[in-house]
């Protein structure tokens, strides 16, 4: 996915919106902060989440960091390949490093997230 | 003015201290300028299972643990299985990473360095391992027997960029309790304590004072408020 067209949360998650589905992961800034990721604890498919609720956790060098749902809805897919090899979250966060897909309960929530320019600005703070 | 609020909890059970941490995480989320360091010796002793901790790494049966008075808790920290008990100085820094350390990776590294600096003051040479080995924690050569052993374990958690959980430094820990588990999922490396390295019991309050001073310096706190 092209980072320019994604939407961003303040917690450094991104959402790539296609129709009613948001493909979510953590940003390049977030993966850099975490360092080498050793483990991704994926959410359960079918889980209903509200925007901002903890979806799953990512572990890097003995630090477990929570990942939040950037939009409300139901988890409809998870990137199972990360269970065997979490490296894409570091190497390709906007591509093979996606973590879960949410079927959005309210598509307007995605529009309330930051665009790339706004996210760049907070990252540089 | 950045102040590190240090709370010396003394001997305390795991559950209530976890509740205290959770409460302080909430506080720091609302007031990112606040920072806390809880220091505690867990009593009764406790085995905690981190996010990747499996029951298979708890070697003793539940009955045996109950006999020994050892609790078992799941924990949202990183890492696998570890042990906490009297004589071990556990530190839980609760701070906003946007203000302190910036990155999760940097925070873990800073904690390692604080422990290495503290041990150095007590005459124990300690080091971290190559990150590629995935053996986070603080290690030292283990006299009198050869080889290196882990003297401090690290496991942190991050919620909305507020970090909690922390480290466990073996000062006068009863090391036989580590035989109840596979510490951090590592089967082929031992554990040690300051008492073992130095050949006698250490003053845990003196170790705590040094840790606080080193921690405050590493994270550039201008002052320390003790409670």
CB B196 within 8 A of CB B175: yes
Identify whether B208 is a catalytic site residue: no
**Number of neighbouring beta carbons within 10 Å of residue B129:** 16
Q: Is residue A47 part of a domain?
A: yes
Nearest to A61 among B102, B105, B159 (CB): B105
Query: Above 70 in pLDDT, residue B1?
Result: no
Q: Which of residues 137-156 of B touch A (CB under 8 A)?
A: 137, 154-156
Residue A75 token pair: 């988890």
CB A30 within 8 A of CB A24: no
Q: Is residue A125 part of a domain?
A: no
Considering only CA atoms, give the Rg of chain B: 16
**ipTM higher than threshold 0.90:** no
- CATH number of the domain where residue A78 is located: 2.40.50.100
Q: Is A68 on the interface with B (CB under 8 A)?
A: yes
Q: How far is A30 from chain B (nearest CA, A)?
A: 8
The percentage of chain B sitting over the pLDDT mark of 90, rounded to a whole number, equals 70
Q: Is residue A97 part of a domain?
A: yes
Residue scoring higher pLDDT (B122 or B143): B122
Question: Which of A97, A68, A94 minimizes the C-alpha distance to A10?
Answer: A68
What range defines the domain where residue A90 resides? 3-119
Q: How many domains does chain A have?
A: 1
Of all residues in chain B, the one with the smallest CA distance to A42 is B51
Strand B3-12 to strand B35-42: parallel, antiparallel, or no bridges (unpaired)?
parallel
Of all residues in chain B, the one with the smallest CA distance to A35 is B105
Alpha helices for A28-98 (secondary structure H): 28-34, 81-84, 87-91
* Least confidently predicted of A21-35, A90-104, B121-135, B169-183: B121-135
Task: Find the distance separating the first CA and the last CA of chain B, reported in whole Å.
Answer: 18
Of all residues in chain B, the one with the smallest CA distance to A52 is B160
Catalytic residue among B184, B194, B207, B208: B184
Nearest to A62 among B103, B136, B160 (CB): B136
Backbone angles phi, psi at B70, to 5 degrees: -100, 125
B13-31 residue pLDDT tens: 999 999 999 999 999 999 9
pLDDT in 10s for each residue of chain A, 125 residues? 899 999 999 999 999 999 999 999 999 999 999 999 989 999 999 999 999 999 999 999 889 999 999 999 999 999 999 999 999 999 999 999 999 999 999 989 999 999 999 999 987 66
Predicted local confidence at residue B80, as pLDDT: 83
Q: Is residue A80 part of a domain?
A: yes
Q: Is residue A71 part of a domain?
A: yes
Residue B62 token pair: 């539940």
Question: Which of B210, B213, B216, B205 minimizes the C-alpha distance to B119?
Answer: B210
Which H/E stretch holds residue A86? none
Q: Is B29 on the interface with A (CB under 8 A)?
A: no
Q: Is residue A124 part of a domain?
A: no
Of all residues in chain B, the one with the smallest CA distance to A123 is B98
Q: How far is A35 from chain B (nearest CA, A)?
A: 5
Beta-ladder partners of B39 = B8, B91
CB A82 within 8 A of CB A42: yes
Locate the DSSP E strands across B60-113: 71-74, 81-84, 88-96
Residue A74 token pair: 């139901």
Average the pLDDT over B110-139 and give the result: 87
- pTM, to two decimals: 0.90
Strand B71-74 to strand B46-49: parallel, antiparallel, or no bridges (unpaired)?
parallel
Which sign, positive or negative, has the C-alpha torsion B95, A97, B56, B194? negative
Query: Cβ B76–A68 below 8 Å, yes or no?
Result: no
Q: Map out the domains of chain B with their CATH numbers.
A: 3-226 (3.30.930.10)
Find chain A residues with C-beta within 8 A of B52's C-beta.
39, 59
Contacts of B22 (CB under 8 A, 6+ apart): B164
């Amino acid at each position: 996915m092209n980072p320019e067209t994604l939407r961003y949360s303040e917690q450094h998650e991104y959402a790539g919106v296609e129709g009613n589905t948001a493909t979510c992961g953590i940003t390049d800034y977030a993966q850099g902060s975490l360092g080498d990721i050793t483990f991704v604890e994926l959410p359960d498919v079918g889980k209903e989440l509200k925007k901002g609720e903890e979806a799953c956790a990512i572990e890097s060098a003995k630090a477990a960091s929570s990942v939040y749902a950037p939009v409300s809805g139901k988890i409809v897919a998870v990137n199972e390949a990360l269970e065997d090899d979490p490296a894409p979250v570091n190497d390709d966060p906007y591509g093979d490093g996606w973590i879960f897909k949410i079927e959005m309960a309210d598509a307007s929530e995605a529009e309330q997230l930051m665009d790339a320019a706004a996210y760049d600005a907070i990252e540089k703070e | 003015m950045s102040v590190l609020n240090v709370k010396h909890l003394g001997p305390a059970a795991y559950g209530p201290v976890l509740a205290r941490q959770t409460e302080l995480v909430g506080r720091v989320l609302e007031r990112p300028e606040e920072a806390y360091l809880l220091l505690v010796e867990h009593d009764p002793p406790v085995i905690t299972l981190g996010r990747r901790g499996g029951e298979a790494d708890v070697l003793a049966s539940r009955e045996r643990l109950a006999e020994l008075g050892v609790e078992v808790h799941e924990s949202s920290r990183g890492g696998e299985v570890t042990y906490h008990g009297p004589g071990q100085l556990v530190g839980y820094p609760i701070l906003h990473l946007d203000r302190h350390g910036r990155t999760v990776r940097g925070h873990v590294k800073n904690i390692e360095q604080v422990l290495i600096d503290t041990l150095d003051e007590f005459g124990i040479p300690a080091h971290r391992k190559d990150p590629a080995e995935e053996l986070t924690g603080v290690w030292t050569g283990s006299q009198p027997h050869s080889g290196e052993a882990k003297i401090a374990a690290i496991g942190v958690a991050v919620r909305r960029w507020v970090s909690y959980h922390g480290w466990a430094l073996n000062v006068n820990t009863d090391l036989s309790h580590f035989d109840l588990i596979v510490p951090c999922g590592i089967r082929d490396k031992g554990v040690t304590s300051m008492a073992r390295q130095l050949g006698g019991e250490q003053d845990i309050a003196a170790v705590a004072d040094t840790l606080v001073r080193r921690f405050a310096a590493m994270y550039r706190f201008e002052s320390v408020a003790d409670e």
